[in-house]
Amino acid sequence: VRHAYLRLGAPMSRRRGFTLLELLVALAIVGALLALALGSLRVGLAAWRQGDDRAEAHAHLRSLSELLARSVAAAFPYRQSGAEGGEPQIQFKGEAGRVSFVTLAPPFPLAAPVTFTAVTFAQLEGERPGLAVREKALPNLDPFQEAEPLFLDPAVTEVQFRYLNPDGGWTDAWDGQAERGLPQAVQIRLTATLGGRTETLPPLTISIPARTP
């Protein structure tokens, strides 16, 4: 009877060991699947964050572009003489990284209501980098003289302006005095960095309607 018991017990031990091996294999497979799932989740979250940062940067740039565009579209061929007198000249100075002009619609209306406002948009470097907006009420003997920015956006890392001449060509500079008028349009291109992500909007072209001084 004892021998029979031992003979019957051996297969039972083998079956028990095989079941344990299957369990270990199953646990290993489950662990691998969990690792893959967690890895996919991390990749998905990273992609979502990047997409969210990109959307935020685009929304920021769009809002800022619209703010600048309203003022540029209301540019006026304002004429005045300098501090030393002389023939009145059209007040418009445009470069690749800055533009100064007179507008009927300043981005930030001044406390005292005025008809004409001298506005400067410029990319600053150094200790306080970013896109700066300066405003001065007119009349003013030096409307584009450097002053403390009324607004500074440090997220903007680059700004580019171009100017449309009557021949249909674009140039990186425009002098209202030399050209005896305003450009037909101004093109603005902004680049900003938000959340560690840098985005650049396509160029925005703003037409300037003909106005009589």
At 5 the pLDDT is 45
- Nearest-angstrom CA–CA distance, 150 and 180: 29
Rounded mean pLDDT, 173-185: 96
Q: pTM for the full model?
A: 0.73
| Mean pLDDT of the residues in the chain | 84
How does pLDDT run across 73-106, given as a tens digit for each residue? 999 999 998 767 778 999 999 999 999 999 999 9
- Distances from the Cα of 66 to the Cα of 26, 111, 175, angstroms: 59, 22, 24
Domains identified in the chain, total number: 1
- Amino acid at the residue 117: T
Rounded CA separation 66/77 (Å): 21
Q: Two tokens at 64?
A: 């800022």
Check residue 202 and report its DSSP letter: P
Domain that holds residue 138: 1-213
**Do residues 93 and 144 lie in contact, with contact meaning Cβ atoms separated by under 8 Å?**
yes
Which tokens hold the place of 130? 């970013």
Q: What's the pLDDT tens digit per position in 6-45?
A: 444 445 445 555 576 777 777 778 777 777 777 666 665 5
| Confidence at 54, pLDDT banded by 50, 70, 90 | low
Which tokens sit at 1? 């009877």
Q: Which residues contact 61 (CB under 8 A, 6 or more apart)?
A: 190, 192, 199, 201
pLDDT tens digit string along 22-32? 777 777 787 77
